[in-house]
Structure formats: structure tokens, C-alpha cells
Amino acid sequence: MTPALISSSGSILASSNAFKLALTNASVRRIGVLARSRHQLALNSRRFSLPNSARRGFASQASASSTSNLANQEQIANRDLSNAAVQSSFYRSLLQANYPHIVVSRYETPGIATSTECAQQYIEALTKIGDHQKAENVARSLGLSTASNAVAGSGAGSFGGAFGSGSRHDPIHVIVTESPWITFSKWVKWLIPVGLVSYGAYLSFNYLVENSSIIKGSGVDDKSVEVSESDVKFSDVCGVDEARAELEEVVEFLKDPSKFTGLGGQLPKGVLLTGPPGTGKTLLARATAGEAGVPFFFMSGSEFDELYVGVGAKRVRDLFTKARARAPAIVFIDELDAIGGKRKSRDQAYAKQTLNQLLVELDGFSQTEGIIIIGATNFPDSLDKALTRPGRFDKIVNVDLPDVRGRIEILKHHLKNIAVSKDVDPSVIARSTTGLSGAALKNLVNQAALYASHKNALSVNMNHLEWAKDKVLMGGERKTMVMTEETRRNTAYHEAGHAIAAMFTEGATPLYKATILPRGRALGVTFQLPEMDKHDITKTECYARLDVCMGGKIAEEMLYGPNNVTSGCSSDLTSATRMARAMITSYELY
């Protein structure tokens, strides 16, 4: 058992306080302390031993006066167990006398006051007896950095032999800590060379990408240029008479070049077709090749570039090489904006290779080669100025949406290929399809034919065409949608408000149809159609559009009150806001 100090009278220190007496008795039982006279102490290794009756005492290296001092401090510490400063002073004396076991045992005894200083002395005692792992754990739990730091202030002499002698068999336990500045300096010294090497590798990679073909994969699919003999004629192109007339000149040049070169004139090298989607730009290009009877080379702008650098430029060269071999020919590039977008000074060189190669090819061949290049785009403003300048695309042809006469021609052309009844009048459908492109009208006729087949009809009649028109303009019907009676009634009142406003507001577009049958994402639709195409709008008509947009919301307020208006007017408010903003910022009609 671990020795402990006792009083000089040889009796166990006791107090009238029951707790102190119990603590002292427990200390005697745990630590194995026996007492005798202060002048009869003798050494027995690292424990207190008395030679005869007491059997235990302090170690021989402690003098009689030192032993008496320790005994007195023990009495004081036992009398004032709640005073952490007294306990710390006692622990310090024990450590100086080289009794770490007593410090450990006393600190671990419940009921004795502790403090940070006591904890540091406890950690020092653990270190001296060789329990370094426990010392480290206690230091971490108390928020101290390391056990060695906790005992650092005790002086070199107080460590005694706890840290070893420094020999191979008894090494010194050393823990080295670095300041944050030293750690930061080490990281900086490591990151600087790594950053320089990475930046050099980045520059080298960019150089290889821009100036060589080292990284070009040999496994890239070589897209073959599509070449065909077009069977489309100008008679198949309807509703775009002005654009067709522009391209008829190209056909005459391909058929008889000497007719134009005899007087010193030159036809443009390229023709750029612009306009909304579905207006027939690709069809016009195919009709040009079909009328001229020359090979037609077709590629989309998105087919040139791929992952690897240089593929787009190579395909441009291959396209014009094959076209020259089959001259006279027409080269058609659809969606030209995919490769002909505006360049920026910050763009990498490899990002411009395809466009640069296209510019070179357009300047590289002469009119005598008999090659006409036709480009098509929906966004002419996004094209690079160098691409659209005279000498490359000299002629810019706008293919706009068809007017009512053009829509009649388009409908007649597509109705020729299906069985129709005698009551079908294309002009009626054409007048009510303002804003539809040629592709949309073709889809309308096809939808009517499919609907008639579904109804087992022998031919397409006006009812089928009206159904197809409503589907194209207003969206498909949602007959299976479940609606409560209240929702259906609210929708009916809302659409009735739109309809009444359209019928009785001066300058409003004529009412075409109002329905509460859900179509698309709307619970109901009120549709207006102009009697003829209009290219401008008056102030009265602007205000009429605002009135019609707000008619549904006003009807709900009149019937249910302002607090019960539904969210069904959200799209109406969006349309009214857009119209009001245009009146102020664009039209100045207010």
C-alpha cells in the first residue's frame, strides 16, 4: 500500500468533524500509514517505515525537520479540506519530497477540494510514477495542451527521474510543440513550389492544346458529310414568295453562270436565311438545290465541334473539299449560330478554330467554282460581324411568318395530300391562325387527319380542322381532370368576366371561344382571334387588352368580394403587366 504522512504524536489526525475523521481513516486504510515519533523515522526504500512498533515512516532522504513540516502541512490540509490552495501547497511539498504516489492517492480521494493548480500537480505526479497515458488523458480532459506543458512550471529539479535518465533503456519522454507561425511558414514553403509547378503544367497544357494536335484523339468519329440530290422544288414552298424570289437568282446562276459573269457582275458567295423557327428556311435551301439539280451538302452547326480540339476546323475543311470535288453544289449549314457566334477577346484560341476555318473557306473559293453556301439561323444578331460582312454572306434573306394569304397557300398545299370533304374552307382556318408558322400549319392538318381517322371518318371536315386548331392554339383537352363544383363555378365566372369584357370593350380583339374545359395548364380559356392580320396597335386597343386581362379578376371580386379572389388570375396579371410595360417603355401610349 502507498505510504502517507501522520502526525508527530504517533496518533492519527482526527477532527471533531465526522467527515474529516472518516477521510483520515480512509486515507490510513488506503495508503497504509503507520505513525510514530518524529525522531524515530527510518528509510525503507520509497515508503515510510518505522523500525519497530510503527513499522512505517518517511524516507531517509527527508530530514527530521522536513518530515515534521510535511506532517504539519498534512494536519492543516485535513482540517481545511475545502481549501484548494491549502491542498495545492501540500501537494507541492510532497512532490518536492519525491512522494508522487501520495499525491495521486490523495487527489483521487473524494471530498478533497481541487483546482487547476492541483490538477497540474496531479498530472506531474502521474508523470513521475510513469503513468504517462493517464496523465495525457487528464490533461486533455482539463483543457491543457499536454501533460508535459501542465508540469512545465514545476522546475527541472522536480521532474526527478520520472522522465528517465536519457539512456537507451531509460529514455527521456519529450513532447515538442510548434508555434502557429512556424506551422504557417512550413505550409507556405510547401505550397509555393507546388503552386509554381501546377501553374507551369497549366501553361504547358494550354500551349499543347492551342498549337498542336497531340491531344487529339484518334478515336473521334469522323462525321461523314451528308450529300444528296434534293427532290424538293420551289412549288413545294408556299407563303414565302419574297424569299423564294431571292433564291431563284441563285438557281439561275448555277444553271447558267455565264449569263451573269458576261457583264462583269458577281453573285454573292453566300446567302443567309434568317427568321423564326418553322418558317421554311431549310425547305428553301433544299428547293434551291432541287431546282438547280446540283448536289446538296447539309450539316448542322452543332455537328462540327466535339470534345477534342481541332475536330470542328477539320470538318469544315472536309466539307468544302468535298463540295469543290462535286461542284457546282450547294453547301447548307443549319443553325449557323452554333459555330458562328460572336468572338470575344478573352476566348481561348482553340475555341475560335472552327469559326476561323469557316471564314478562311468563305474567302478561299471564288465564284467560278460554282459553290453557293447557304446558312440558316434564328438569331442573326448573335453572329460574328466578320461572318456576315459583304464578301462572305452578301445576301441576307428574312423568312418571316406567313400572312393570311401565305397561310391559305400553305393549308391548300398540305390538304392536297389528304382526303377532305367539300365543306372545308382553308381561308376560314387561315384567318383564325394568325402567328402560326408553316410548320405549325402542317402539324395542324396532320392532327386533323389523325383525329378524323380516330373517329372512323371517311374524310377530314371542318369540325376536325377546328378541333386541331383549338389543340394547337389552346393546348390539349384534359377531360379526366377532377374538379370540385366550387372550382368549376369559380372558373366559369372568371372566364365569363373575360368574355364580357371582350364583347363590350371598344377596340378589343373579337371573341373566338370561351371554355371551362381544362386545356394545357389552364382550368379554362377565353380565346380571341383577329379577323385579319394586324401589324400595329392603337392606344385604345392597348387599353382594351388591359381591360380584358383584368375582366376575370373583376368578376370574381363582384361575386365573392375582394377577400375571396382566387389565384387563377396570375397569368392574366402577367399579361397585363407585360402590356402596360410595353405601353410605357416602348410605345409611349399612356
> Which residues belong to the active site?
495
How many whole angstroms separate alpha carbon 510 and alpha carbon 258? 55
Collapsing DSSP to helix, strand or coil, 270 comes out as strand
Handedness of CA 93, 98, 104, 105 (dihedral sign): negative
DSSP 292-329: HT-EEEEEEGGGT--SSTTHHHHHHHHHHHHHHHT-SE
Taking each continuous run of H as one helix and of E as one strand, the counts in the chain are 21, 10
Residue in 468, 449, 459 with CA at minimum distance from that of residue 420? 459
Query: Grid coordinates representing 123?
Result: 498530472
Task: Tell me the one-letter amino acid at 23.
Answer: L
Query: Grid coordinates representing 391?
Result: 464578301
Q: Cα separations (Å) of 480 from 271, 476, 477, 483? A: 50, 12, 9, 9
| Helices marked H in 166-294 | 180-211, 241-255, 258-261, 281-292
Burial class (CB in 10 A: 0-12, 13-18, 19+), 420: buried
Residue in 292, 378, 290, 395 with CA at minimum distance from that of residue 335? 378
How many whole angstroms separate alpha carbon 425 and alpha carbon 487? 38
Handedness of CA 433, 439, 442, 444 (dihedral sign): negative
Task: Tell me the one-letter amino acid at 428.
Answer: V
Angle at alpha carbon of residue 304, lines to 347 and 267, rounded to 5°: 95
